[in-house]
Amino acid sequence: MEIWINPACSKCRGALALLDAEGAGYTVRRYLEDVPSAGEIREVLGRLGLEPWDIARTGEAEAKELGLAEWPRDAEHRDRWIGALAAHPKLIQRPIITAEDGTAVVGRSEEAVRDALSRR
């Protein structure tokens, strides 16, 4: 199991605390420092079953500068979204937990983290 975190994020800290309390084995990836490639983002999206706009933090200042909220959300523009997430990792929703069964969840709630734990 791997968890993509921003240490300044309270949701990330909460997810880590729950993983620790449950004795889960996991690897931490500080994705703002160890930035995922476009290929890694594509893989995680596949595991999540989501599109890039589903995990984009459109309220961030960088998103507003890019005009992200106005970008088309369709297959034709998917690569543009993925490129923006790779170039601006702060725009990636967090935490993302990749489960051992090949799936992933956005662990913003206790229920989502427990869902990832159930997939061990």
**Among the options 9, 24, 28, 50, which is catalytic?**
9
12 catalytically annotated: no
Q: Which residue(s) pair with 104 in the sheet?
A: 98
For residues 56 and 71, what is the distance between their CA atoms, to the nearest angstrom?
A: 12
| Burial (0-12, 13-18, 19+ Cβ within 10 Å), 90 | middle
> DSSP labels for 50-116?
--GGGSB-TTSHHHHHHTGGGS--SGGGHHHHHHHHHH-GGGB-S-EEE-TTS-EEE-SSHHHHHHH
- Residues belonging to the active site: 9
